[in-house]
Amino acid sequence: MHVISASRRTDIPAFYADWFINRIRSGVVDVLSPFGRGMSAVSLAAEDVAAIVFWTKNADPILQHLDELSTRGYPFTFLYTINNYPISLEPRVPDLGHTLQVLDKLHERFPGPVLRWRYDTIVLTETLDRKWHLRNFRGLCKVLSRYTDECIFSFCDYYKKTIRNMETFVPDHFRPEEALCKEMAEEMAELAGERGISLESCAHDYLVSQRVAKARCIDPEFLLRIVDSPERKRVLKTLRMAPSRKECGCAASFDVGAYDTCSHGCVYCYANADPVRSPGNRSRIDSGSSCLRPRQFEVR
C-alpha cells in the first residue's frame, strides 16, 4: 500500500482530472520516469492506495470526480497553491475570486481536514517586494483561515531552467539574501498566527525557528487525520522518509505526473522547462492513455 502524489510535476486536478479518474477506474497508471529510464506501472486499486495527495492551483475541474473517489474508498487531500500573483508571473492561474468559489464548494462537500495551503514560491521583484508580499500574505491569511490552519511556503529555488525563464520573463527579479528571507519568514509567521495558521518552511531549513516549522508536504501525520481504516493507518505510521531534494521533509509516495505538461505557464516553475512551449503538450495527451505522456513528447 502506498501514497499517490498527483502531482509535483504537473497540475493534475486542473488539467488532467478526466485522465486521472479514468486511471482510477482502470486500477493502474503507467508513470514516465523523469530521468528517461522508461515507464513503471503503479497500482491505483483502492486496496493499494493509502491516500491521494493532490497538488493544484485550480481544483475546479476535479470537483465533479471527488464523490466518486470518496465512494470508491480513496482518502484524499489537497496541497493548494494560492499566491495571488499578477499574470506576469502566473499567466493562466485563476484569480483569487474564482479560487475562493472553488474552495467554498470543496469545503461545503468535504468540511474535514482536506486542504493545506501553499504560498509557493515567493518571488521578489522591484514591485513584488517585501512590503507587497507581507500585505498580500496578510490578506490571504484573512480569507483562507476559514478553510485551513496551515501554510507551507518557500522562496524561489534558482535551477538552471528557472534562471533562464526568470531572466527572460521577469527581468526585475532579484535573489534575496538569507537575512531578508529569515526576516520575512518571521513576519509571515506572526501574520499567520494572528489568523490561527501555522507556518512551515518547505526545503529551507535555515528558516525553521520557534515560530516556523519544517514542512512535510507528503506528511503521514496529516494523512492520518483523513484515513479511517486500521490498515491505512498502519501503513502511514511506517512510511519511510523519501526527500525529493535537499532538506525536503516528505515521506515516500508515487508521483504519477509528468514534467513539461502543465498549462498554467508560471514563469518561476521548475516543472516546465519552457513556460511558453510546454503548455502546448496538454493538447497531445489522450484522457484514455495509461500514461501522462504527450504524443510526440516535446521537452527542451
Which amino acid is residue 98, in one-letter code? H
Per-residue CA distances from 236 to 144, 218, 257 (Å): 28, 10, 22
- pLDDT category, 295, cuts 50, 70, 90? low
The three cell numbers locating residue 99: 479560487
Q: What is the pLDDT averaged over residues 104-127?
A: 94
User: Is the model's pLDDT at 22 over the cut of 90?
Assistant: yes
Q: What is the pTM of this model?
A: 0.95
Do 11 and 55 touch, CB atoms closer than 8 A?
yes
Per-residue CA distances from 206 to 120, 160, 182, 203 (Å): 17, 22, 8, 9
- pLDDT category, 278, cuts 50, 70, 90? confident
- pLDDT category, 24, cuts 50, 70, 90? very high
CA-nearest of 263, 269, 272, 292 to 89 is 269
Q: Which carries the bigger pLDDT value, residue 208 or residue 293?
A: 208
Tell me, what's the pLDDT at 33?
Answer: 86
Do 100 and 143 touch, CB atoms closer than 8 A?
yes
Per the prediction, the chain carries an average pLDDT of 94
Cα–Cα distance measured from residue 7 to residue 256, given in angstroms and rounded to the nearest whole number:
6
Whether residue 295 lies inside any domain: the answer is no
Domain carrying residue 52:
2-284
Whether residue 299 lies inside any domain: the answer is no
Whether residue 194 lies inside any domain: the answer is yes
| CATH number of residue 155's parent domain | 3.80.30.30
Tell me, what's the pLDDT at 198?
Answer: 98
Q: Which residues contact 60 (CB under 8 A, 6 or more apart)?
A: 14, 94, 98, 102
Tell me, what's the pLDDT at 236?
Answer: 98
Q: What is the pLDDT averaged over residues 85-112?
A: 96
Which 8-state DSSP code applies to residue 173?
B
Least confident of 25-39, 63-77, 96-110: 25-39
Whether residue 251 lies inside any domain: the answer is yes
Whether residue 15 lies inside any domain: the answer is yes
Tell me, what's the pLDDT at 297?
Answer: 45
Number of separate domains in the chain: 1
Whether residue 66 lies inside any domain: the answer is yes
Task: Pick from 107-111, 217-221, 279-283, 294-298 the range whose average pLDDT is largest.
Answer: 217-221
Q: Which SS3 state, helix, strand or coil, does residue 287 take?
A: coil
Label residue 290 exposed, middle or buried (CB < 10 Å: 0-12, 13-18, 19+): middle
Q: Is the dihedral of CA 146, 147, 151, 157 positive or negative?
A: negative
pLDDT in tens, 139-161: 999 999 999 999 999 998 888 88
Tell me, what's the pLDDT at 275?
Answer: 79
Tell me, what's the pLDDT at 32?
Answer: 87
Tell me, what's the pLDDT at 299?
Answer: 43
Per-residue CA distances from 252 to 3, 74, 111, 127, 147 (Å): 7, 18, 26, 38, 26
User: Is the model's pLDDT at 298 over the cut of 50?
Assistant: no
User: Is the model's pLDDT at 296 over the cut of 60?
Assistant: no
Tell me, what's the pLDDT at 300?
Answer: 41
- pLDDT category, 65, cuts 50, 70, 90? very high
Which strands, in side-by-side order, build the sheet including 198-201? 212-214, 198-201, 150-155, 115-122, 76-81, 49-56, 2-6, 254-255
pLDDT over 90 percentage in the chain: 83
Whether residue 135 lies inside any domain: the answer is yes
Tell me, what's the pLDDT at 7?
Answer: 96
Tell me, what's the pLDDT at 157?
Answer: 85
Cα–Cα distance measured from residue 167 to residue 174, given in angstroms and rounded to the nearest whole number:
10
Do 54 and 60 touch, CB atoms closer than 8 A?
no
pLDDT in tens, 238-269: 999 999 889 999 999 999 999 999 999 999 99
Whether residue 292 lies inside any domain: the answer is no
